[in-house]
Amino acid sequence: MKQSEERAALIAELEAQRAEVARLSAERGALAERERLAGEIHDTLAQGFTSIIMLIQAAEAQADPARHLRLAVQTARENLAEARALVAALGSAPLDGSALDEALVRLTDRLGQESETAAAFTVHGESRPLTPPTEVVLIRAAQEALANVCRHATAGRVDVSVTYGPRTVTLEVRDDGRGFDPSATGGYGLRAIRSRVEQAGGSMRVRSSPREGTTLTFEVTE
């Protein structure tokens, strides 16, 4: 009887521990999902709304605002597609089923149109299809980097390049703007992108200094 009581107590303790483990696992899963959604909202909707505001403000300052208003409408439509994709969990709207190179061309061209900054995109190595997670990570990295150039860099030129190695793909965004001290910045955007790249098994490097421009390099192993 004593052994049966001890076994019953042990079983009850194990069940309680199992329930606690399940609760903690669920909490961690919910936290990870909240962090993922926060990153998606920042990388898509928040950046889109910022672009719309900047375009409308630019239109207000122009005698002929038609071009800026057209870009604002285009950005609003893309933002709506982003919102629908996010809600429906259908994946990454900006890629729209296209190759990474094509998506980066569109983002680079849009920066040039919105900010009138000289922007160029180049490909090094033999372009190849990438896995969807790698494409999403790199496109989000490009979005964040170009949004920062538009908002903060006051750059005259931006160069975006992607380099395909035997087992790696490297994205580089370089501008000749005012730069910053990487050790002093605490912006959410760069932290979030670094986290996403590292979760994909990649790395992010920041080279910048005041008045010397900025280079962001993202490398992912495929």
Interacting residues of 138 by C-beta distance below 8 A, sequence separation 6+? 100, 130, 162, 169, 171, 218, 220
**pLDDT tens track for 48-97:** 777 788 888 888 888 788 888 888 888 887 777 767 655 654 444 444 44
Contact at 8 Å (CB) between 216 and 176?
Answer: no
Strands (DSSP E) contained in 74-156 are 118-124
Domain definitions of the chain by residue range: 1-93, 98-222
Question: Within a 10 A sphere around the Cβ of 5, how many other Cβ atoms?
Answer: 9
Class of the domain covering 98-222: alpha beta
Q: Is the pLDDT of residue 141 over 60?
A: yes
Q: Is the pLDDT of residue 112 over 90?
A: no
Which has the minimum average pLDDT: 30-39, 48-57, 176-185, 207-216? 30-39
The span from the CA of 137 to the CA of 91, in Å, is 12
Region of 201 (left: φ > 0; alpha: ψ -120 to 50; beta: rest) is left
| pLDDT (0 to 100) of residue 3 | 82
Greatest CA separation found in the chain?
A: 93
Segment holding 87, helix H or strand E: helix 66-88
- Give the residue among 77, 130, 70, 71 at the shortest CA–CA distance from 104: 130
Give the SS3 label for residue 64: coil
